[in-house]
C-alpha cells in the first residue's frame, strides 16, 4: 500500500499488472485456489472456483475500500451511520462483478478454465440476515449510498444463523436451520483483533466524586465482546466502496482466568458458549416482536458496539462533543436499535461528564428514525422489569428523559391531561412497558414514514400527539429499490434491450427510463420486449418443473404473490379467488378463457399459526386443482419453497401480474411492488402504501387498483363491520367458503381448514377479506381481459417500466442525504 498518496482521490493501491484484465483475474483465481483454499489448480470443482473468484473480487474491493476511507477521512466529511438489526444483501457475486465492471472478464476467465459464469454464480448461498422488506431496504440503501459516494457505514449483527430455510413437506412449512457460514466466508474480513466490550446486567452504583458530582456506574456487569466482520458494498463503477460492519459475539471469559481456577473447566466453557449465543440467530418474526430477553440483548449488543466505534472515530478528531451532530448522524432503521439513544446519553453524561442538558442537546441532533409499520402488534414495547434487569442504567436514563419530556408536554398542553399517558415513554397499566417508538421520536430530530400514504397515517393517527408536539420532525421518504440488482442483474436481457435503445445512464439515473416511452409505439421494440419476457417465463417454467414437478405453460398469465405470509397481506384473498376461478371452470367450461399460472412464495413466522395454516391451504388447493383433469392447462397453482432474494431474482422478471393486495392502511410501503413494476409486470393492488404512488407515476390505466380505501376501512370498522353480510349476499363467495369449511380441499381431514373460514365469518375478519372480495374478482376479470390483447398488455408493461424511475433507491437515499442527514458525496 502506498502511503504517500493517502488522501488523494485518484490514489490507487498497488497497480494491476499490465496484462489483460481477464487474464489477470484468472491468475488471481488460480492463486486463490491454491494458496487460500489449498486445492489443486488442475481440477478445482465449481464451489472452489466460486470461492476463489469471490476472494479475487474481495481483493479488489478492499483496495477500493481503503482508498474510499482515506477520502472520507481527509475531507473530514460528516458521516452517516445506518443501524439495522437486519440486512438482506442477497448473493454478492454478480452484483460485485457488475459494480466493478468485471462481468465480461470473469466470463472469459472462467470459460478459459472450463466453467460457465452462470453455473459458478449458482454456487453462492445468500446470507439471509433479514426477514423481508425491512432488511432488503437496508441493503438497497447501502448500494445507493455507495453509488452516491456518501460517507456512510452500515452496522448490523453477524448472525450465525439467518432466516430459516423453508421446506414444504406434505403441504406444510417446515423450518430448517440456515447455516449460511458452513462453506466459509469469502466476502468478509473477520477482524479478530478488533473487539469492543458490551456490558449487561449488574447494578447501578451512585456515588459522589471529588468535585462533588453525582456519578453513576455499573457494577458486577456481564461483559461480552463484539467482534467486527466487514463486508464491502461497492458503488456502481465509481471505485467507491462502503463497509457493512456486522458484529459477532465472542466470549470475554478467556481473560478471566479465575473462572478456570475454580476447577470447573467444563462449566466455564459452557458459560463461554452462552455468551456467544447473542449473535447466534436472527429472530424470524416479521412485524411481531417476540419480547424475548435475547432479542433485547441483541439490540443492545449492536448498539453498544456501534456507538463505541462512532465515539472512537469522533475522538480521533480531537474536537468538542457539541460538534458530534455536525460530524455524525445515526439513523435508526425502525425502533430495533433505539436503545442507542439512552446509550449515547449514558456515555456523554456518565463517562464524559457532560451535563444532562448538554448531552440531550447533542443526542436529539444526532439521531434520525424511520418508522416502517403501523400495525399495533408490531410497535415494539419491552416489559420494564426486563429492561431494569438487563440494562438498569439505561432504564434510569429513559425515566429521566420521560420526566423532562412530560414536564414540557404538560406546559404545552395544560388543558389536555390525558395526553401525558398517551405519549409517555412508559406505558403504565397493570404492567409497565417501555415504548420504543416513543423513545425514538422524542430522541430524534427526524421521524419519517416510508410512503406518502404511510407518513400521513403517522401524522394523523398513530403518532398524532407527537405530531402536535414536534410537527417539524415528521417527514416522508418513499422507499426505493436499487436498479442495479432489481433490473440490471436479475433481468440482464431486458436491461440489455433498454440500454440498446436509451444508453446505460439509467443504471445510475433511473428517471432516464422515460426515454423508452417513444418506443412503445414501435412494433420492433414491442416484439423484442415480449420476446424477452417470454424467455424469462420459459426459464421460470423450467425451474418450476425441476423443483415442483409441475408443468406450466409459459404463454399463460403468470400471476405472482410472493412476500412474507401475514394475514394483512391477504394471500387468503388471492386463494379465495383462485378457488372461484376453479369453480367457474368446473361449472361452466368456456367461461374462463385466459389460462393462468398462480405462483405463491413466502415464509411464515414459525409461531404464527394462521399464516402457516394459509400456506397449507394454498398447497392443498394447488394439489386439488393441478390434479383435476377438467382443469387442464387453464389453471395451475404453484408454491415455490424458500422464497429469498435469490428466488425473487428468478421470479420477478417472469411475472405478468403482481399481487399487492394488503388491507388498505396496513402495508407501510411495500418494495416488492416496485421490483415487479420496474421489470414490466402489471400491478393488481389496493390503495395502500407505495401502490398509490406507483399508480400516480404509471397511470391509473396501467395497473388494476381495487377495494376499500383506508378511511373506508376505518369507517366500516367503526360502524360495525359484518362479514356475514358479504357471505350471504355473494353466492360465489359463499360456495368458496363452504368448500373450504366442508373439507373439499382436505378430504382426509374434513375439518382441517374450518378455522380459516371461522376467522372470516365468526371472528370479525380483521383484514376485511370478505369486504374486498367482489371488487377483487372484478378487477381480476379486467386483468384477464387486458391480457387477451397482447399488444395492449405489452404497451402497459413497457409504460410501467418507463415510468418507474422515481422508485430508485438512489432517489430515496439522495432525499435522506439532503433533507435529513445533511451530507453529500465525497
Is 569 part of the annotated catalytic residue set?
yes
* CB atoms closer than 10 angstroms to residue 818: 11
CB of 804 to ligand TH1, least distance (A): 16
Selected from 479, 536, 571, 597, the binder of ligand TH1 by CB under 6 A is: 479
Partners of 636 in beta bridges: 597
Asked if 483 interacts with ligand TH1 (CB under 6 A), we say no
Q: Which stretch binds ligand TH1 (CB under 6 A): 50-58, 419-427, 459-467, 662-670?
A: 662-670
39-47, 141-149, 661-669, 776-784 -> range binding ligand TH1 (CB under 6 A): 661-669
Among the listed ranges 302-310, 323-331, 666-674, 726-734, the one in contact with ligand TH1 (CB under 6 A) is: 666-674
| Shortest distance (Å) from residue 671 CB to ligand TH1 | 5
Other CB atoms within 10 A of residue 42 CB: 6
Q: Is residue 501 within 8 Å of residue 519, measured between CB atoms?
A: yes
Measured at CB, which residue is nearest to ligand TH1?
133
Helix (H, G, I), strand (E, B), or coil: what is residue 173? strand
Q: For 48-68, give the DSSP string.
A: HHHHHHHHHHHHHHHHHHHHH
Q: Catalytic site residue 26?
A: no
Question: In this structure, are residues 56 and 71 in contact, taking their beta carbons and an 8 Å threshold?
Answer: no
Q: Which is nearer to ligand TH1, 450 or 594 (CB)?
A: 450
Q: How far is the CB of 334 from ligand TH1 (least distance, A)?
A: 5
Assess 812 for contact with ligand TH1 (CB under 6 A). Answer: no
70-129 residues near ligand TH1, rule: CB under 6 A: none
Please tell me the count of residues contacting ligand TH1 according to CB under 6 A. 19
| H helix count then E strand count, the chain | 33, 22
Note whether 48 binds ligand TH1 by CB under 6 A.
no
Catalytic, out of 366, 671, 683, 686: 671
Smallest Cα–Cα separation from 677: which of 814, 449, 491, 547?
A: 491
Q: What does the alpha-carbon distance between residue 301 and residue 242 come to, in Å, rounded to a whole number? A: 22
Using CA atoms, how far apart are residues 454 and 476, in angstroms rounded to an integer?
8
Minimum distance from residue 113 beta carbon to ligand TH1 (Å): 41
Piece of 580-588, 621-629, 664-672, 720-728 that binds ligand TH1 (CB under 6 A): 664-672
Which one of 54, 450, 581, 585 is in contact with ligand TH1 (CB under 6 A)?
A: 450
The binding track of 397-436 with respect to ligand TH1, each residue x by CB under 6 A or -, is: ----------------------------------------
Identify whether 372 is a catalytic site residue: yes
Looking at 99, 134, 490, 674, which residue binds ligand TH1 (CB under 6 A)? 134
Within 373-402, the residues that bind ligand TH1 by CB under 6 A are: 373, 378
Distance (Å, rounded) from C-alpha 396 to C-alpha 517?
Answer: 59
Smaller CB separation from ligand TH1, 441 or 799? 441
774-792 burial string, b = 16+ CB within 10 Å, else e?
A: bebbebbeebbebbeeeee
Give the range of 213-221, 236-244, 669-677, 736-744 binding ligand TH1 by CB under 6 A: 669-677
Distance between CA atoms of residues 294 and 668, nearest Å: 27
Residue 215: its H or E element = strand 214-219
Q: Tell me phi and psi for residue 599, to 5 degrees.
A: -120, 125
Closer residue to ligand TH1 (CB): 133 or 685: 133
Among 193, 128, 124, which residue's Cα sits nearest to residue 159? 128
CB of 668 to ligand TH1, least distance (A): 4
* Closest among 566, 747, 541, 572 to 640, alpha carbons compared: 541
Cβ 561 to ligand TH1 shortest distance, Å: 15
Three-class DSSP category at 340: helix
- Residue 667 as a binder of ligand TH1 (CB under 6 A): the answer is yes
DSSP string, 542-561: HHHHHHH-----TTSEEEEE
For the chain, the residue count is: 826
Identify which of residues 162 and 689 has a Cβ nearer to ligand TH1 in the complex.
689
Comparing CB distances to ligand TH1, the nearer of 178 and 334 is: 334
Does the annotation count 403 as an active-site position?
no
Which of the residues 394, 569, 612, 616 is marked catalytic? 569
Among 126, 239, 286, 649, binds ligand TH1 (CB under 6 A): 286
Residue in 94, 563, 636, 687 annotated catalytic: 563
Q: Pairing between strand 657-660 and 682-686?
A: parallel
What is the 3-class SS of 432-488, one letter each residue?
EEEEHHHHHHHCCCEEEECCHHHHHHHHHHHCHHHHHHCHHHEEECCCCECHHHHHH
Q: Is the Cβ of residue 136 or residue 149 nearer to ligand TH1 in the bound state?
A: 136
Asked if 252 and 131 count as a contact pair (C-beta separation under 8 A), the reply is no
Cβ-contact 248, 236 below 8 angstroms? no
CA-CA distance, 795 to 702, in Å (whole number)? 9
* Residue from 89, 90, 127, 133 binding ligand TH1 (CB under 6 A): 133
Least distance between ligand TH1 and beta carbon 272 (Å): 29
Q: What is the DSSP letter of 166?
A: E
Task: Identify whether 315 is a catalytic site residue.
Answer: no
What would the DSSP string read from start to end of 629-661? TTTGGGEEEEEESS--HHHHHHHGGG-SEEEE-
Are the C-beta atoms of residues 26 and 115 closer than 8 Å to each other? Answer: no
Binding-site member from 131, 139, 251, 304 for ligand TH1 (CB under 6 A)? 131
Q: What is the footprint of ligand TH1 within residues 677-716 (CB under 6 A)?
A: 689
Q: Quick one: DSSP state of residue 328?
A: E
Contact between 670 and ligand TH1 per CB under 6 A: yes
Task: Return the half-sphere exposure (C-beta side, CA atoms, 13 A cut-off) of residue 433.
Answer: 16
Does position 669 bind ligand TH1 by CB under 6 A? yes
Out of 564, 570, 612, 779, pick the active-site residue.
564
Site for ligand TH1 in 136-165 (CB under 6 A): 137
Under the binding rule (CB under 6 A), the answer on residue 659 touching ligand TH1 is no
The verdict on 674 binding ligand TH1 (CB under 6 A) reads: no
Nearer to ligand TH1, 592 or 820 (CB): 820
Q: Scan residues 512-551 and list those touching ligand TH1 (CB under 6 A).
A: none
Cα separation, 813 vs 158, in Å, equals: 24
Pure H helices in 551-627: 571-587, 609-626
Q: Is 309 in the site for ligand TH1 (CB under 6 A)?
A: no
From 675, 687, 779, 803, active-site residue: 675
| DSSP, res 82 | E
483 vs 689, beta carbon nearer ligand TH1: 689
Of 44 and 670, the one with the shorter C-beta distance to ligand TH1 is 670
* Positions marked active-site: 372, 563-564, 569, 671, 675
Binding positions for ligand TH1, rule: CB under 6 A = 131-134, 137, 286-287, 334, 372-373, 378, 450, 479, 667-671, 689
Amino acid at each position: 500500500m502506498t502511503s504517500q498518496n493517502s488522501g488523494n482521490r485518484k490514489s490507487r493501491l498497488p497497480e494491476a499488472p499490465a496484462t489483460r484484465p481477464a487474464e489477470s483475474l484468472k491468475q488471481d483465481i488460480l492463486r486463490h485456489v491454491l494458496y487460500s483454499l489449498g486445492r489443486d489448480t488442475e481440477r478445482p470443482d465449481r464451489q472452489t472456483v466460486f470461492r476463489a473468484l469471490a476472494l479475487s473480487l474481495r481483493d479488489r474491493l478492499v483496495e477500493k475500500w481503503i482508498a474510499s476511507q482515506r477520502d472520507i477521512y481527509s475531507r473530514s466529511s460528516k458521516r452517516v451511520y445506518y443501524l439495522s438489526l437486519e440486512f438482506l444483501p442477497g448473493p454478492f457475486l454478480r452484483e460485485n462483478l457488475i459494480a466493478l465492471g468485471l462481468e465480461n472478464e470473469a466470463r472469459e476467465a472462467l470459460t478459459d478454465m472450463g466453467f460457465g459464469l452462470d453455473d459458478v454464480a449458482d454456487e453462492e448461498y445468500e446470507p439471509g440476515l433479514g426477514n423481508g422488506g425491512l432488511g432488503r431496504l437496508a441493503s438497497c440503501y447501502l448500494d445507493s449510498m455507495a453509488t452516491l459516494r456518501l460517507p456512510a457505514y452500515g452496522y448490523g449483527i453477524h448472525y450465525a444463523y439467518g432466516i430459516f430455510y423453508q421446506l414444504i413437506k406434505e403441504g406444510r412449512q417446515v423450518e430448517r436451520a440456515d447455516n449460511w457460514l458452513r462453506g466459509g466466508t469469502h466476502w468478509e474480513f473477520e477482524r479478530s483483533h478488533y473487539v469492543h466490550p458490551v456490558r449487561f446486567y449488574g447494578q447501578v452504583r451512585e456515588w459522589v466524586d471529588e468535585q462533588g458530582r453525582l456519578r453513576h456506574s455499573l457494577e458486577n456487569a456481564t461483559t461480552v465482546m463484539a467482534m467486527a466482520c466487514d463486508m464491502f458494498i461497492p458503488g456502481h463503477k465509481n471505485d467507491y466502496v462502503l463497509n457493512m460492519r456486522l458484529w459477532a459475539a465472542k466470549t470475554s471469559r478467556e481473560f478471566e482466568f479465575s473462572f478456570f481456577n475454580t476447577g470447573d473447566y467444563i462449566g466455564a466453557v459452557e458459560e463461554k458458549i452462552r455468551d456467544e449465543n447473542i449473535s447466534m440467530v436472527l429472530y424470524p418474526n416479521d412485524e411481531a416482536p417476540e419480547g424475548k430477553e435475547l432479542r433485547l440483548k441483541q439490540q443492545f449488543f449492536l448498539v453498544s458496539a456501534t456507538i463505541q466505534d462512532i465515539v472512537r472515530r469522533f475522538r480521533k478528531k480531537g474536537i468538542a462533543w457539541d460538534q458530534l451532530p455536525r460530524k455524525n448522524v445515526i439513523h435508526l432503521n425502525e425502533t430495533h436499535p433505539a436503545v442507542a439513544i439512552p446509550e449515547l446519553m449514558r456515555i456523554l453524561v456518565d463517562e464524559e461528564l457532560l451535563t444532562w442538558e448538554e448531552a440531550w442537546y447533542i443526542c436529539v441532533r444526532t439521531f434520525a428514525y424511520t418508522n416502517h409499520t403501523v400495525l399495533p402488534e408490531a410497535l415494539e414495547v419491552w416489559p420494564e422489569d426486563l429492561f431494569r434487569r438487563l440494562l438498569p442504567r439505561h432504564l434510569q436514563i429513559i425515566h429521566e428523559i420521560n420526566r423532562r419530556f412530560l414536564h414540557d408536554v404538560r406546559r404545552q398542553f395544560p388543558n389536555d391531561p390525558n395526553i401525558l399517558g398517551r405519549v409517555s415513554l412508559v406505558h403504565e397499566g397493570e404492567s409497565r412497558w417501555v415504548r420504543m417508538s416513543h423513545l425514538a421520536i422524542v430522541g430524534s430530530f427526524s421521524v419519517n414514514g416510508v410512503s406518502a400514504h404511510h407518513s400521513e397515517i403517522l401524522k394523523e393517527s398513530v403518532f398524532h400527539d407527537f405530531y402536535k408536539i414536534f410537527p417539524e420532525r415528521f417527514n416522508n421518504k418513499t422507499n426505493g429499490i436499487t436498479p442495479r440488482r432489481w433490473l440490471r442483474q436479475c433481468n440482464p436481457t431486458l436491461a440489455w434491450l433498454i440500454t440498446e435503445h436509451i444508453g446505460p445512464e439509467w443504471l445510475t439515473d433511473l428517471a432516464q427510463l422515460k426515454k423508452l416511452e417513444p418506443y412503445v409505439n414501435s412494433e420492433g421494440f414491442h416484439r423484442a420486449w415480449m420476446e424477452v419476457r417470454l424467455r424469462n417465463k420459459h426459464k421460470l417454467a423450467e425451474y418450476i418443473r425441476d423443483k415442483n414437478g409441475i408443468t406450466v405453460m409459459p404463454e399463460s398469465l403468470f400471476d405472482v404473490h410472493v412476500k412474507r405470509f401475514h394475514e394483512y397481506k391477504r394471500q387468503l384473498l388471492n386463494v379465495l379467488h383462485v378457488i372461484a376461478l376453479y369453480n367457474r371452470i368446473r361449472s361452466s367450461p368456456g367461461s374462463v378463457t385466459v389460462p393462468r399460472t398462480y405462483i405463491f412464495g413466502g415464509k411464515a413466522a414459525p409461531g404464527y399459526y394462521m399464516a402457516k395454516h394459509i400456506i397449507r391451504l394454498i398447497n392443498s388447493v394447488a394439489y386439488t386443482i393441478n390434479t383435476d383433469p377438467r382443469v387442464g392447462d387453464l389453471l395451475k397453482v404453484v408454491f415455490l419453497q424458500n422464497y429469498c432474494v435469490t428466488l425473487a431474482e428468478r421470479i420477478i422478471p417472469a411475472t405478468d401480474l403482481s399481487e399487492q393486495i394488503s388491507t388498505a392502511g396496513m402495508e407501510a410501503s411495500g418494495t416488492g411492488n416496485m421490483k415487479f413494476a420496474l421489470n414490466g409486470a402489471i400491478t393488481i393492488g389496493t390503495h395502500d402504501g407505495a401502490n398509490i404512488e406507483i399508480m400516480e407515476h404509471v397511470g391509473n390505466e396501467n395497473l388494476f387498483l381495487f377495494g376499500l380505501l383506508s378511511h373506508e376501512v376505518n369507517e366500516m370498522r367503526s360502524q360495525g363491520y359484518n362479514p356475514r353480510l358479504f357471505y350471504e349476499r355473494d353466492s360465489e363467495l359463499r360456495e368458496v367458503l363452504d368448500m373450504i369449511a366442508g373439507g373439499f380441499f382436505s378430504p382426509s381431514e374434513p375439518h382441517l381448514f374450518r378455522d380459516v373460514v371461522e376467522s372470516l365469518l365468526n371472528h370479525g375478519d380483521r383484514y376485511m377479506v370478505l369486504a374486498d372480495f367482489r371488487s377483487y374478482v372484478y378487477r381480476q376479470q379486467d386483468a384477464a381481459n387486458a391480457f387477451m390483447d397482447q399488444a395492449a398488455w405489452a404497451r402497459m408493461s413497457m409504460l410501467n417500466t418507463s415510468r418507474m424511475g422515481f422508485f430508485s433507491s438512489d432517489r430515496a437515499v439522495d432525499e435522506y442525504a439532503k433533507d435529513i442527514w445533511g451530507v453529500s458525496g465525497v
